[in-house]
Chains A and B, each alone.
Chain A
Amino acid sequence: MKIDKEKIYDKELFDRLKNSLDLKNEQGIMSSYFKEPIWWVAPGFDKKLPISEAEIIKRCRQMKDYTPLTRSACMKTLLNAFRKAKKSKQVELFKCISGLHGFIYPVVQGNKIYGYIAMCHAEKEIPLQTIGMFIGFVNALVKEIQKELELSKLYQTLRPRAIALSTVHTVHRLISSTLNLDELLPRIARLSLHVVRANRCSIKLVDKAKKVLLPKTTVDLRKKKVRLKKVKVGRHAPGRAFKKSKSIRGKDYLAMPLIDEDVIGVITLYDKVDGKPFDHFDQEIMRTLAEQAVIAIRNAQLYKEQEKLTIGSIKSLATILEARSPGIITPRGSFVRIVLEMGREFKLKMYELKSLQYATLLHDAGEIIVPNEILTKPSKLTGKEFRLVKEHPLRGVKIIKPLKALKGASPVILYHHEKYDGTGYPKGLKGNQIPIGARIMAVVAAFEAMIAKRPYRAKKSIEDAAEEIKRNSGTQFDPKVVDVFLKVIKRKHIRSLLKKEGYGT
């Protein structure tokens, strides 16, 4: 292999020299001085001479003074000169039987002859100085060509590596951009398939007992139906890769363990697009990808756990509030659903929707400071009582302040009693000054208050409550929010959820 590469390199170098415009120009200059000599540029061979008799005959026939008698003498002189040049590795001057001059120059670098540049049929003797200059020129040209070839080789070596590195970096950015495990795992699978050019990818994560790998995602770009199968640790390629904590490569599969402090799962690729077996290069790139994937998966899992903790804390708080004032402070699940669907209509981001969800459960948490007699008072509140109730948004924000995860919910809780026309509380914000989450909450909270059972008024039907909301569009409520609200509550699943929770009956 090494020798072949060397031969290819030597051939490439000499071909570039032979085809070089600079060499042709130099030959042209010398030709004009020596009156149309014959030039030979031939690559070197170890055993054979670089030019054939047939070539010599062909060229000599073109000369005016060619005779068959001079042919063999001419050939003999030329071939002798080549042999001498090959042996000495130096320029050889000669004179043929017709009295014409020539030289053979072996293009030598170190001990290696790359080829020969020869000139014959010159009418004048060729001065040594001219030969010297020509040799100097050719040597400089050869060095330049060698540099070009080295640079080209470097480019050919570095470029694919740089492209592969860029791919690894891009994949890292793409998989690190989500903390949603349900989104992350298919993304890892699809990207792996593209990078390794395989047809199917399966990601399995270990369960807590660590005896079985559970299929979390399988992507087959051939659109084949795939069955998600559990795999016991130690069984099949994924199970073996998990057990041994190292990659397993077969003809049509490559299983790579996902290793954090411990092995958390396995990513397995099947069936390369070109039908070839997975190779060492595929293994290397998947190793890098698996290292990135495991970090992204762990981050997503931690995020999910943190979310669960946060929701758990909120639900605990909501339970306490519910115990304090049943049916008044904490809304039912249907309202959380309405709020989230409205948030999606407004294309709120994931973290904004989360904040809205938390805010819905706790928006009236501040009412805990309001005595129950006031909250359940059937008649109109006094000024003092109403002032106390008006404090509840601010109180609510203070209650949730220690929970940093609820920071995004604070503005929704604080401003959910602001009115679109600026006549609300606590700050009298107007229009778009009120955060969108609070504008959504204002509508839904009012709706909930109207259709829920309250000690101080009869509950309304869903239709009547919706009409009331509509009547107050532009004054109490943002008209855009009202439109979205009316659209959402018409949805079948929302209506069934409300009915299930006893509303609208």
Chain B
Amino acid sequence: MELREQFTSKIHKNIIRFFHENPASVDTPRGIATWINQDLRKVKSALEKLTKAGILIAHKSTSTTGYSYTRNKKIISQIDRLLKKKV
């Protein structure tokens, strides 16, 4: 249920789609905001929520945080179904 909730927000959905299509990507909030063409502040907030939901993994350092896609096959498979459904 929690996973579906992430799809109700356009920014969340776009971020999830970006990582689902580019699973090897590790990028900063600014980079991701560029790829999905959304406001940086909103993207930052969305990234934190998606990390808490277990969809993304945060790699923190002193200067920045990089985000990468989950490796949980169950979550990835659910996301794949949800993305195809929405399309």
Smallest beta-carbon distance B40→chain A, Å: 15
Please state if B66 and A170 are interface contacts (CB–CB under 8 Å): yes
Contact flag A194-B26 (CB < 8 Å), given A173-B66, A174-B66, A177-B61? yes
Task: Flag if B61 contacts A174 (CB, 8 Å).
Answer: yes
CB pair A187–B59 under 8 Å, yes or no, is yes
Q: Are B26 and A171 in contact (CB under 8 A)?
A: yes
B66 touching A171, Cβ below 8 Å: yes
Q: Are A170 and B24 in contact (CB under 8 A)?
A: no
A163 at the interface (CB under 8 A from B): yes
Q: Which residues of A contact B63 (CB under 8 A)?
A: 173, 177
Q: Among A164, A169, A173, A221, which residue has its beta carbon within 8 angstroms of that of B61?
A: A173
Asked whether A163 and B22 contact (CB < 8 A) given A170-B28, A194-B57, A273-B71, the answer is yes
Distance A163 CA – B25 CA, assembled complex (angstroms): 7
B64 within 8 A of A: yes
Given known contacts A174-B64, A178-B62, A167 and B71 CB-to-CB distance under 8 angstroms = no
Number of interface residues of B (CB under 8 A): 19
Interface centre among B35, B57, B71, by most chain A C-beta atoms within 10 angstroms, is: B71
Q: Is B24 a contact partner of A191 (Cβ separation < 8 A)? A: no
Query: Is B25 within 8 A of A166, CB to CB?
Result: yes
A287 partner residues in chain B, CB cutoff 8 A? none
Q: Give the shortest distance, in Å, between A473 (CB) and chain B (any CB).
A: 34
Q: CB of A195 within 8 A of chain B?
A: yes
Whether A195 touches B61, Cβ cut-off 8 Å, given contacts A163-B35, A170-B66, is no
Known: A160-B22, A173-B66, A194-B68. A167 touches B27 (CB 8 A): yes
Q: How far apart sit A173 and B57, CA to CA, in the bound complex (Å)?
A: 16
With the chains together, A178 CA to B63 CA distance in Å? 10
Max chain A CB contacts within 10 Å: which of B23, B35, B61, B69? B61
Asked if A190 lies at the interface with its beta carbon under 8 angstroms from chain B, I say yes
Chain A contacts with B in 146-200, Cβ cutoff 8 A? 160, 163-164, 166-167, 169-171, 173-174, 177-178, 187, 190-191, 194-197
Q: Which residues of B contact A163 (CB under 8 A)?
A: 22, 25, 27, 35
Q: Is there an interface contact between A173 and B64, defined as CB atoms closer than 8 Å?
A: yes
Nearest CB on B from A502, distance (A):
40
- With A171-B66, A194-B68 as contacts: A166 and B27 at CB distance below 8 Å: yes
A160, A167, A177, A178: the one within 8 Å of B26 (CB): A167
Known A163-B22, A191-B59; contact A170-B71, beta-carbon cutoff 8 A: no
Residues on A close to B: CB < 8 A? 160, 163-164, 166-167, 169-171, 173-174, 177-178, 187, 190-191, 194-197, 221, 273, 285
Q: List 7 A-B contacts (CB under 8 A).
A: A163-B25, A170-B64, A194-B59, A196-B24, A197-B23, A197-B24, A285-B24
Residues of chain B touching chain A, judged by Cβ–Cβ distance below 8 Å, are 22-28, 31, 35, 57, 59, 61-64, 66, 68-69, 71
7 A-B pairs with the lowest CB-CB distances in the bound complex, closest first: A177-B61, A194-B68, A170-B66, A166-B31, A177-B62, A174-B61, A167-B26
